[in-house]
A = this chain, B = another copy of it.
Amino acid sequence: MEEEKEKAGLEIQEAPEQQAAPDDEHQVGLSDAFISEILELLDHQYTDRIQELCRDLSAPDSAELLIKVSPSARHQLVEILETVIQPETFSYLDHEMLNDLLEHMSGAHVAAIVNELESDDALRLIDDLDEERRHEIMRHLSRKVRAGVEEGLTFPEDSAGRMMQREFVAIPQFWTVGKIVDYLRAASDALPDKFYDIFIVDPMHRFVGAVTLSSVLCAQRAVKVDTLVSDEHVTVPVDMDREQVAFQFRRKDLLSAPVVDSDNRLIGVITVDDIVDVIDEVAEEDFLKFGGVSGSDITRTLFSTAKSRSTWLIVNLFTAFIAASVIGVFEKSIEKVVALAILMPIVASMGGNAGTQALTVMIRALATKEVSAANAWRVIGKECMVGLLNGGLFALLLGGLVAWWFGSLVLGGVISAALILNLFVAGLFGAIIPVTLSRLGLDPAPAAGVLLTTVTDVVGFMAFLGLATIFLL
């Protein structure tokens, strides 16, 4: 052991500038050098040295370390760092990784972590577990934590109830600023670590209003608290969807929002840091779904990644066959004019790209509520016009190039007409598909792309080959 430590110490001395203290003044996150060093120490099983280096890591830093190493290294690290790692670390990991890690830990160890977490993080962690595992761990929880988790699980997934923290500061309506300050000073041990607003409740614990900490701090002791109530505050019903909650926070620039039950009783608080996570997650989901993946695969195993990707590829194979069979209809034309086979992917590809542009703008605008029933038709009409405009422009360009390349004005004319039609269809469907899906209550991001390219492929091939058959043969 002694020798091991010494050796590890030596290695570090050799490259002191690489040691990269993770809390470097403006350095955000871990340096790659730090991670490589840990991995090297892990190779040599210098566990003491790893514990020493990781002892002062913040929860997000530890999480980053676990995320960036291979699955096997991750398991070893969690074991080595069991006593060192902060419980909050686990609330920064995603579902799949968490499940994988927790599976290899004892129920008592997991419970010890959960007992340490704040109520919202505890709920999220338990929620991510498989049914069986959940029961095992629930038995090890403290009574208070268990009760909170059990109630939390009764709220719908992705609702305010699942995000909220049960620790908040609530005071009666008739208090003065002086009384509040005295109370906070006396009760400081029983209060949450951090709180951003003070909530006012009536004797039935129903929500009356909220005051910001800055307004309390700046007011004279004799001021009645209800004169400080900010009118910007809204209550969040416990079953409100988290995206809706995030939308409220952004619109009103809130720091925290009271969560109430159906009787308007105050039961929890949602804070802005959770909202930042929601916005991030929702944006990430949209982005990934749009690219045809179901979640970030970085930490998944090889087989699980390949499997999750294959669903999408099956759909794509099917739609590619539809496009292929459209081409098949014009087999005879292609046999006669092989230039058609050379040029047809251009028409399809231009349509796919122009349509994807319209689609992207619409999906995003629906998510941010820039587009709703009030302006949907105007925007769809505009996309059609954009398609026609660019269709006309590129028809001239492409038609000219093709006429020159193949020495055939008719072929140039045919591809021009096909392109205008396909870019118009691309604009129309690129705008109308997301709006329709969203009207049907479906999420447009994952399905819209494949629907659109099927349309632009089919229309592209059919228009080009069909017109060619009519005018060239």
Chain A contact residues, CB within 8 Å of chain B: 25-26, 28-29, 32, 35-36, 58, 60-61, 64, 67-70, 181, 184-185, 188, 191, 194-196, 212-214, 216-220, 234-235, 237, 240, 244, 247-253, 255, 272-273, 275-277, 279-280, 283-284, 286-288, 290-293, 296-299, 302-303, 305-306, 309-310, 312-313, 316-317, 320-321, 323-325, 327-328, 331, 334-335, 338, 340-346, 348-350, 353-354, 356-357, 359-361, 363-365, 368-375, 378-379, 382, 385-386, 389-390, 393-394, 397-398, 401, 453, 457
CB contacts (< 8 Å) of A296 on chain B: these are 361, 364-365, 368, 370
Contact B188 A357 (CB under 8 A): no
Q: Contact check: which of B291, B345, B353, B390 meets A323 at CB < 8 Å? A: B345
**How many copies of this chain are found per oligomer?**
2
Mind listing 18 A-B residue pairs with CB under 8 Å? A25-B234, A29-B369, A181-B217, A194-B212, A194-B214, A249-B276, A283-B284, A287-B363, A291-B356, A291-B360, A302-B382, A305-B386, A310-B394, A312-B353, A313-B390, A338-B341, A341-B341, A349-B457
Which B-chain residue is minimally distant from A271 (CB atoms)? Answer: B253
CB contacts (< 8 Å) of A350 on chain B: these are 313, 316-317, 320
A272 to nearest B CB, angstroms? Answer: 5
Contact B331 A338 (CB under 8 A): yes
Contact B361 A297 (CB under 8 A): yes
CB contacts (< 8 Å) of A379 on chain B: these are 298
Contact B342 A345 (CB under 8 A): no
Interface contacts beyond A28-B244, A279-B280, A287-B363: sample of 6 additional A-B pairs, CB < 8 Å, sorted by A: A28-B247, A253-B273, A284-B364, A303-B389, A345-B457, A349-B453
CB contacts (< 8 Å) of A181 on chain B: these are 181, 217
Contact A217 B219 (CB under 8 A): no
Contact A26 B234 (CB under 8 A): yes
CB contacts (< 8 Å) of A293 on chain B: these are 357, 360-361
Contact A346 B324 (CB under 8 A): yes
Which B-chain residue is minimally distant from A423 (CB atoms)? Answer: B313
Q: Contact check: which of B61, B287, B353 meets A292 at CB < 8 Å? A: B353
A114 to nearest B CB, angstroms? Answer: 20
The distance in angstroms between the C-alpha atoms of A184 and B217, with both chains bound, is 7
Of all A-B residue pairs in the complex, the 6 with the closest CB atoms, nearest first, are A291-B360, A283-B283, A341-B341, A188-B218, A213-B213, A253-B273
CB contacts (< 8 Å) of A26 on chain B: these are 234-235, 237, 240
A15 to nearest B CB, angstroms? Answer: 15
The distance in angstroms between the C-alpha atoms of A292 and B247, with both chains bound, is 26
Contact B288 A360 (CB under 8 A): yes
Contact B374 A68 (CB under 8 A): yes
Given A317-B346, A346-B317, A370-B296, check contact A291 B389 (CB 8 Å): no
Which B-chain residue is minimally distant from A301 (CB atoms)? Answer: B382
A263 to nearest B CB, angstroms? Answer: 14
CB contacts (< 8 Å) of A184 on chain B: these are 217-218
Contact A250 B237 (CB under 8 A): no
Given A255-B272, A284-B368, check contact A389 B185 (CB 8 Å): no
CB contacts (< 8 Å) of A283 on chain B: these are 279-280, 283-284, 287
CB contacts (< 8 Å) of A284 on chain B: these are 283, 364, 368
The distance in angstroms between the C-alpha atoms of A238 and B307, with both chains bound, is 46
Contact A70 B214 (CB under 8 A): no
Contact B292 A291 (CB under 8 A): no
The distance in angstroms between the C-alpha atoms of A346 and B312, with both chains bound, is 14
Contact A298 B394 (CB under 8 A): no
Contact B213 A365 (CB under 8 A): no
Contact A345 B320 (CB under 8 A): yes
The distance in angstroms between the C-alpha atoms of A250 and B302, with both chains bound, is 29
CB contacts (< 8 Å) of A220 on chain B: these are 185
Which B-chain residue is minimally distant from A376 (CB atoms)? Answer: B32
CB contacts (< 8 Å) of A310 on chain B: these are 390, 393-394
Contact B345 A348 (CB under 8 A): yes
The distance in angstroms between the C-alpha atoms of A247 and B64, with both chains bound, is 13
